[in-house]
Amino acid sequence: MDISKIPIKNRKDEHIYLVSTEDVESHETTWFEHIRFVHKPIPELSLDDIDLACEFLGKQISAPVFIGAMTGGTELTKKLNVSLAKAAQKYQIPMMVGSQRVILRHPETKDTFSAVRESAPDIPIIGNLGIAQIASSESFDYVNEIVENINADALAIHLNVIQELIQPEGDKTFSGVLEKLKLLKEQIDIPIVIKETGCGISKEIASQLGEIGINIIDVSGIGGTSWVAVEYYRAKKENMKLKQELGKLFWDWGIPTAASIFEVSSVAKNNPRMEIIGSGGIRDGIDVAKALRIGAHFTALARPFLMVALQGQSEIEQFIEKTFKELEITMLLTGCKNIDDLKRVPIIITSKLKEWLIQRKIAF
């Protein structure tokens, strides 16, 4: 798909265009480079012995790798959603859809999301709304429509305060959020996932979420796609000087993904029901292995899946196979037969990540 030839119809298409054509990665890294596995030259295993399978929301999945939340709402994104969903179904991995808020104002866009469930009947699919929507709602009757739209297994609520603040038309009210989340939790009968969108989640927030019974947290830390960067490019196009300056200043704001996984994992140690999705800058199977080793139960990749989806169906499939292979090789080289083994292998933590953990009093 040649993105430069596709008409940009609204903000979502514009985001897809900018994310795939501009340099939108954060300058700060994930800090996974400060973690090293200890190589095991005699693993006593064959590649065929490695088993990546695990369970999410009561469904068996082939590997702890999700397609991150991105798209829906337009013709272009329907195509991308269908391609990604077909691949997710083929490889039996979960998929998160992009924000479904658009459905509330434009019900005619429903099929751009429901096509995901039609193409992927068996896998866990996670719906999506933003925190600004939740914060401004007096009641949550509309949420059933969002959930039924894709027969969602869980509903993700994304935290994107910084993006809203930089975004030319963004929301500015974020008080009373925990109370609203508590109400929402009482009104829906599927689990809620709280996810960031590139700035990470701390142990303090994870524990507040645990207290209101929200137990699935997608950290989405720094090190991958920077939404401030995306909004910077939009502000630049509109010639909005202040927003551009804010965009430059806050480009790398937040908690690097590896530190954020450690943060949330320190809370999950005392809450066995808590499950962590490690995301934000996960780019290959070694990143996946490191995220799982330091406490994530699953991982999610967003922009890498967009880039291959724009190329075509077989490119998505090759990317999934490559990521699985990289994870399997990492597991073989550390002597792990399955994901549980991987959680116990020795690692060395150095530099800034070690300093962060010491200052934050997080055991490692």
Residue 110 CA neighbour count, 13 Å, CB half = 10
Tell the smallest beta-carbon distance from residue 280 to ligand FMN (Å). 5
Phi, psi for 52 (deg, rounded to 5): -90, -5
Residues in the chain: 364
Containing H/E element for 183?
helix 177-187
Q: Residue with the closest Cβ to ligand FMN?
A: 224
For 316, the 3-state DSSP assignment is: helix
- Which pair of structure tokens corresponds to residue 42? 């005699």
Smallest distance, Å, CB 344 to ligand FMN? 26
- Which residue number, 78 or 332, has a Cβ lying nearer to ligand FMN? 78
Closest distance of CB 256 from ligand FMN, Å: 12
User: Between 312 and 346, whose beta carbon lies closer to ligand FMN?
Assistant: 312
Cβ closest to ligand FMN, residue 80 vs residue 268: 80
Contact 321, 299 (CB under 8 A): no
Task: Kindly state the smallest distance separating residue 272's Cβ from ligand FMN, in Å.
Answer: 25
Residue pair 224/30 in contact by the 8 Å Cβ criterion: yes
Between 126 and 336, name the residue whose CB sits nearer to ligand FMN: 126
Q: Least distance from C-beta 222 to ligand FMN, angstroms? A: 9
* Dihedral over Cα of 196, 202, 204, 210: its sign: positive
Which CB atom, from 50 or from 157, has the smaller least distance to ligand FMN?
A: 157
Residues of the shown chain interacting with ligand FMN in the complex, contacts defined by CB under 6 A: 15-16, 19, 68-70, 98-99, 128, 156, 158, 195, 197-198, 220, 224-225, 279-282, 301-303, 306
Helices then strands, each counted (H, E), the chain: 17, 12
Distance in Å, CB of 193 to ligand FMN, minimum: 9
DSSP H or E segment with residue 159 = strand 154-159
Determine the Cα–Cα distance for residues 174 and 179; give it in Å rounded to an integer: 11
Q: Which residue, 50 or 76, is less far from ligand FMN as judged by CB?
A: 76
Element (H, E) at 56: strand 54-56
Nearer residue to ligand FMN within complex by CB, 29 or 334 = 29
Name the minimum Å distance from CB 129 to ligand FMN: 9
Residue whose structure tokens are 């967009």: 306
Rank residues 130 and 210 by Cβ distance to ligand FMN and give the closer one. Answer: 130
Min dist CB 325 to ligand FMN, Å, is: 19
Give the C-alpha separation, 296 to 88, whole Å.
20
Closest CA to 128 of 106, 143, 108: 143
What letter does residue 263 receive in the DSSP assignment? H
